[in-house]
A and B are shown apart, each in its own frame.
Chain A
Amino acid sequence: MKEKNEVIILLAEDDDGHVELITSTLHDVGILNEVMRFRDGEEALEFFYGNGKKPGIKEGASYLLLLDIRMPKVDGVQVLERLKGDPRYKKMPVIMLTTTDEPREIERCHALGCNSYVTKPIAFADFVDKLHRLGLFIMVIEVPKL
């Protein structure tokens, strides 16, 4: 797993059940990377920018962001916009992981520069299947160091 295992997975998701399902499924498929969870967009942005507190982000570490859209306070799209507009985080892979399959929403996120867009299917088998592939994706993706 070499360097790739050093990638820290950031998960911005307000629903606890979803977090449980995502982390356990990823674990099942062999993604054993460290996972950091944020309850909403605001928490995620706090990690990157501090917003008065000390930013959680570490120099030299590699991050991959799994981003839900529908979150309180600051939603996923706002977070994506902010990060992709910032040269520092522009190259950090962001994968949208969300319930909606609205084509307009998907298009908007792609336009803002998300690296992948994954819909959470309701059928659990499909859900697992999607996460398997996501796991493979995470394994092969080049994640730059900050």
Chain B
Amino acid sequence: MDRPGAGSYRMPLAMWLLFGAIFLSFLVGGAFFYYSQERRIREDESQKLLSIAELKAEEIARWRSERIGDATVALSGPFFSAAVKQWLATPDPTLAAQITERLESYRRGYRYASAFIVDAEGHIRLSAGMAEEHISLETDAFLRISLRQGRPFLSELYRCSVHNAVHLDVIAPLFSDTTEGRRAVAALILRVDPNEFLYPLIQSWPEQSISAETLLVRRDGDEVVFLNELRLKKGTALNLRIPISRFDIPAVRAVRGEEGIIEGLDYRGVPVLSALKQIPASSWYMVAKIDSAEAFSAWRFRAGVIIGGLCLVVYIIFSLMGFFWHIQRGKQYKELLELEKKEREGEEYFRATFEQSGVGVSQVAFGGRFMKVNPRFCEIVGYSSEELLQKSFPEITHPDDRAADKIYIQKILEGGKAVSSREKRYIRKDGSIVWSNVTVTVVRDASGAPSYFLPVVEDISSRKDLELAREELMTSLQHKNEEMESILYAASHDLRSPLVNIQGFSDRIRRYLAELDRILNAQISASEMCETAAPIIRNNIPKALGYVTAGTDKMDALVSGLLKLSRLGRATHTPEPIDMNELMRETLDALKFQTQEARAVVTVGDLPSCWGDRREIGQAFSNLVDNAIKYRDPKRPLTITVSGTVMGDRVTYTVADTGIGIKKGHQDQIWGLFSRLDPGGPVPGEGLGLALVKRIVQRNRGKAWLESEQGKGTVFYIVLPQDRTIRKGGRT
């Protein structure tokens, strides 16, 4: 199973890429859609504006030509033109009335503000709807142009100084043929009130709009003149003028000859979209305009919808990403939770294993100090965990095992082999020794440097005890074997030797007796007989008998020695703690007589107690003291010193005397069965004492040896096991 690393908690790259691609395509598509929509709407608006401008321009052009047509029709009729000429020649009131009536009909029929006839000098001669007699200077200027051109003429829109109103006049000259040629004598003027039709036509807009309007401009020198009343500014007709240097204003660009769609600022300084169109056969220019704000308001709304939609899509994408991420995170948290749970379970398991383990487990710092110990380890070494945490590994290790421990640890650290085990001893709190099998594992950190040790300790005391018992059994068997050998040796040598004498001298005695018998039977005198028999009876026979008796004595001593030995072998061996001070006192009491007789000074130190068979050990020490007394040097006073010291789990006792000492070469021999250095010497004995000591010590799992110098004295060393009740500290 893959362990979930930090990386796998993130959203997969593919997912990110997918989301990114979707997001980008939406952005690009959205932008493209936005701009195409914008362009379309701009085109639509422009097209609409242009259509309106063209339509109006056409209408205005048509209107203008109609006005010219009106005048032409009026003058081309057979009556009017002739009647006017006639009336001018001869003013007749009837005719005047007829003409005036006709004028009035024109005015009314064509909806002119007024209709009148002026003569060449500009005097109003006949009129309908007019009161004054002379036309204004402005009207006169147009009349002059019309008369000069000789055909119907449409004036500019102008402000009349007499009426202070905007006029547009249709001027049609009247000609009369004279001798000097054709001459303009008068003109028909049809006066248009622009408010009546033209201005409403201009201002009308086919749709509902708050800012859309049409305006009519013309160039007047270096200025643009606005001809009509504006929708959004009052009193502008022929009053508002803008320099033609203002290129940002569509009206300026119109009079400069541009046509089509122009974006710019209007007279108010507000951004507008405008369509420019020149009105044919005139100096007029049509500007149809609408505030950009209004023109694009629909677009704005749509753009808002588009952007809003895009935002919504982006939001949805982000929400989806967030959702997936959340799910992913949820999964990740779940995994982390699972992992933590597992770790906790693992820790729980480890803790339980550690706490309840049947073997001693501890955690030991690099320097040997305990960091953690389990109850079993505490039990094995007999310390509480608090006490152990104050101690180090070597402190509780048996002194003899510390050096080997060091080598072992070094080997583990160098060899890189994690596990290996060895047998070693710990010193328990009560001072007793516990054998253990220790397996040390080195726990290393990520860099491989050892961070601490993990020793697993198994109490193998019982196994060790068994091993020791087996060893002891082997030793005792070996001793038994040696004993058998020595008994065999003794039997073959020492038991035969007296028998040879008994047999030999018995035979001698038999021969002496035979000789005596021969003497008795001999034919000799009594005195002669006495003389011959006397040495036999007095010397030879007693001497031979002496050998026989000595032989039997020797036999008896040997047999009782062997019996003693065999009794030692057969006696129940009952090891127990021995208070040596007490036992020594009893032993010396029993030897009191001999000690006093030898005038020996016996010094006994404080003796540590030991473990063994009380009766046997008592016998051994008794033999040693007895020997010291027997083999004393008569020339020197005898002192016997008994002492004892504890060494590890053993006690060493010494029995030192100031006796004759033993020659170097004879020191081994004296331990032998029936072995005596000086059989014929002053000290009686059968060579059994030290042999018994040796056997007793061996039976009690001890050791005996001696150091001696001839003529100075001897020191016997007896090593025995320490009292176990002390050694084990009462531990079962």
Contact = CB atoms under 8 A, between A and B. Distances in A.
Contacts of B665: 73-74
Contacts of A20: 547
Contacts of B494: 70
Contacts of B675: 72
Contact of A17 (B488, B492, B547): B547
A101 B496 CA distance: 10
Interface string A18-45: 1011000000000000000001000000
B183 interface: no
Contacts, number: 68
Interface string B641-673: 000000000000000000000000110010000
B669 A17 contact: no
Interface in B555-592: none
Nearest to B505: A17
Contacts of A69: 493
Interface stretch (A57-65, A83-91, A121-129, A134-142): A121-129
B679 A14 contact: yes
B497 A99 contact: yes
A17 B550 contact: yes
Given A74-B665, A101-B492, A18 B497 contact: yes
Nearest to B687: A72
Contacts of A107: none
A100 B678 CA distance: 21
Contacts of A99: 492-493, 496-497, 500
B501 A17 contact: yes
Contacts of A102: 488-489, 492
A16 B679 CA distance: 11
Interface in A90-112: 98-102, 105
B605 interface: no
A124 B488 CA distance: 23
A110 B714 CA distance: 37
The residue among B489, B501, B504, B680 with the most chain A CB atoms within 10 A of its own CB is: B504
A72 B500 contact: no
B507 A124 contact: yes
Dominant secondary structure of chain A at its interface with chain B: loop
B559 to A, nearest CB: 16
B492 A73 contact: no
B503 A70 contact: no
A12 to B, nearest CB: 14
A96 to B, nearest CB: 12
A127 B547 CA distance: 17
B677 A127 contact: no
Contacts of A16: 547
Nearest to A14: B679
Contacts of A14: 679-680
B500 A18 contact: yes
Contacts of A74: 665
B499 interface: yes
A53 B500 CA distance: 34
Contacts of A122: 496, 499-500, 503
Contact of B551 (A17, A72, A98, A127): A17
Contacts of B505: 17, 21
Contacts of B111: none
Contacts of B493: 69-70, 98-100
Interface residues of A, number: 26
B497 A15 contact: yes
B500 A73 contact: no
B676 interface: yes
A125 B676 CA distance: 31
A127 B666 CA distance: 32
Nearest to B672: A75
Contacts of A101: 492
Nearest to A121: B500
A99 B497 CA distance: 6
Nearest to B679: A72
A125 B503 CA distance: 9
A121 B547 CA distance: 17
Interface in B304-338: none
Contacts of A70: 493-494, 497
Contacts of A15: 497, 500-501
Nearest to B493: A70
Contact of A124 (B503, B547, B551, B678): B503
B496 A100 contact: yes
B504 A127 contact: yes
B365 to A, nearest CB: 63
Contacts of B680: 14, 39
Nearest to A22: B504
A82 to B, nearest CB: 12
A73 B678 CA distance: 8
A105 B665 CA distance: 22
A123 B503 contact: yes
Contact of B676 (A39, A72, A123, A127): A72
Given A17-B505, A99-B493, A73 B499 contact: no
Nearest to B494: A70
A142 to B, nearest CB: 30
Contacts of B677: 72-73
A97 to B, nearest CB: 11
Interface string B478-504: 000000000011001110110111011
Contacts of B679: 14, 72
Contacts of A100: 489, 492-493, 496
Given A70-B494, A102-B492, A127 B669 contact: no
Nearest to B492: A100
22 contacts: A14-B680, A15-B500, A15-B501, A17-B504, A17-B547, A21-B501, A21-B505, A69-B493, A72-B675, A72-B677, A73-B666, A73-B669, A99-B493, A99-B496, A99-B500, A100-B492, A120-B500, A121-B500, A123-B503, A124-B503, A127-B500, A127-B504
The 7 closest A-B pairs by CB, nearest first: A17-B501, A99-B496, A70-B493, A100-B492, A124-B507, A21-B504, A17-B547
Interface of A: 14-18, 20-21, 39, 69-70, 72-74, 98-102, 105, 120-125, 127
Given A72-B678, A99-B496, 4 more contacts: A14-B679, A21-B500, A21-B504, A123-B503
